[in-house]
Structure formats: C-alpha cells, structure tokens
Amino acid sequence: MRACADEREMLATRIAPKLSLTREEILREGQALPAAPQVLGGLCELLEDVNTNAYQVAELIRMDPALAARVLRLSNSVMFRGGLTVSSIEEAVTRIGLAEMTRLVGTATVAGLFDRTLVVYRIAAEKLRESLLMHALASEALARCTNLDPRSAYAGGLLRAVGMMVLDRVARERIAPEEYFDAKRYGTYPDWELSHFGVTSPELTAILLDEWHFPAELVSAMDQHTQPAGNPLALVLNLAGAVVAAHRRALPGDTAHWVLTPEKLSGLDLDENALRIACEQARAAFERHREALY
C-alpha cells in the first residue's frame, strides 16, 4: 500500500504476531463505531464548497443523533452562546460560524467516541481525549503555517487513535492482562501492535479513513505520520506530536515518535519560532475547548 506500510508488514511476518486481523474484521469493527468520524469527514469535505449553507451542515451533523445532541448542548454552553440560547443546529452554525463549528463537531466527536479507557493500552479516557484534542489543534495551527489544508490536519490529529480503539475492542477479550502494552518492554505502540496483531494502529486508522472517504492525502499521512519521511501532511501531524509532548499530553507509546529535529522543520520550511507560535495558538485553543470534552 505505502512504503512504510510495506516495511512494517515485512517485519510483522518475521515476528509471528499472536493475533491476525483481516481487512473485513477491521471494517466490521469500524462499522460498529458511532457515525461521528464520518460526519466530521463529510463536514471537512462540505466546507470546501464556498456555497455551503447552514442547512447542509446541520443535515450532515444530524446523521449522528448523539453527536447532534452534544453539539447543540455545547452550542448553549457559556463559551459559545454569548448569552443567547440556541434552539437548533442551523441556528448554532449561523451564530458560531463554520470554522468554529468544525472545531466544536471535532471536540464533540472526541468526547463521544473516546468515552472509555483503552484497556489493553492502559490509557484512561480523559488522558486520551485531551491528548487528541491538543494534537488536532496543533496540527491545524501548523497546517496554516505551511499552506496545507487545516481541516484535514485537524481531523487527522483528532482521529489518529481510531485504530487503537479498534485494536482495544478486539484484544481486550483475546489477550491476557500480562500481554497489555508495557512501555518498558516495547517502547512504542507500533512495536507492541506488530508483535501482537501484525498491523499497527496508524495503518488501521488509514484503512478506516479511506473507507469513510477522507481525502487521499490524509489517508496517506495517517499511515506515515509516526515515520513521516517526505510527506508534508504526515510531517505536520508528527510535529504536532512534538507540540503535544511539549504540553505534557503525549501518550506513553507515542513519545519516541515526537522528537523534534532540524530535518523535520526544514521539511516544512519552518523554524523554531514558527513552531513556538503554533504551540501557543494550540494551547490557547485547547484551553477554550477543553471543557467541551466532558
């Protein structure tokens, strides 16, 4: 499929994984997830058209009733309503604006999708949600600095753990607790995933994003973002991880991937000052949106 994927597949065959997942199993688990990620993907696509209106956005959000209810509740929270009550999704879109609505839908997606501990990864739901929101906001800020699509970058940072959720759902009934992820033994999540499943969570996330019709460049970037090479959007997602780490919200099995290097900065024609500015923008946005996670 992609170069880094091919390399990991070769490694997987050498280490004889304890479990093996077919594409059909992956898609079946993905179909069992709420529709919110697909709504977010559809929203990003819809907003590429300058003629998109509030009714179209509202119709898309209502595809997932639970997401729509959460979005309406958040629209009436202190940070969004400005003292006025919002009674419909259309009204919320009009009052809040399309860009802010995308962030609100994203926050609501994370809050509803990652609502329980990932048992086999030993990651509490609260820690995971905050890490993903920070990653999304940092990705968005960095994409703006590099003339890449900020909506795709935001969605990528937000949904990068979907593959982990799938593996957690499969593995919690099939592997013993002593086989759960241990950073001292494996270092990174992909190392552990390959040894147990023969596939990594970024690969699974890429498969599902492709199935949900996210842009091809995001699918490719998701597969490569832990080892980004020359893929610009993958580099954005990787450098966003460095921002997450700087704010001490990186997940234990991710930290080894988020090392800041001059090569990564030069790959996007950025300097450390630009990275600091993006870091501050992400922090400010995170503080504004954080309470919406709960």
* pTM for this model (two decimals): 0.85
Domain segments of the chain: what residues?
3-32+117-293, 33-113
- Asked if 288 and 262 count as a contact pair (C-beta separation under 8 A), the reply is no
Q: Does domain 3-32+117-293 have CATH number 1.10.3210.10?
A: yes
Instruction: Name every residue whose Cβ is closer than 8 Å to that of residue 184 and which is 6 or more positions away in sequence.
Output: none
- Tens digits of pLDDT across the chain (294 residues): 444 455 444 434 444 456 666 777 777 887 788 778 888 888 888 877 778 888 888 898 888 888 888 888 888 875 555 567 888 888 888 888 887 788 888 888 888 888 889 999 999 999 999 999 999 999 999 999 998 999 899 999 999 999 999 999 888 888 899 999 999 999 999 999 998 888 899 999 999 999 888 889 999 999 999 999 889 999 999 999 999 999 999 999 999 999 999 999 999 999 989 899 988 999 998 988 887 777
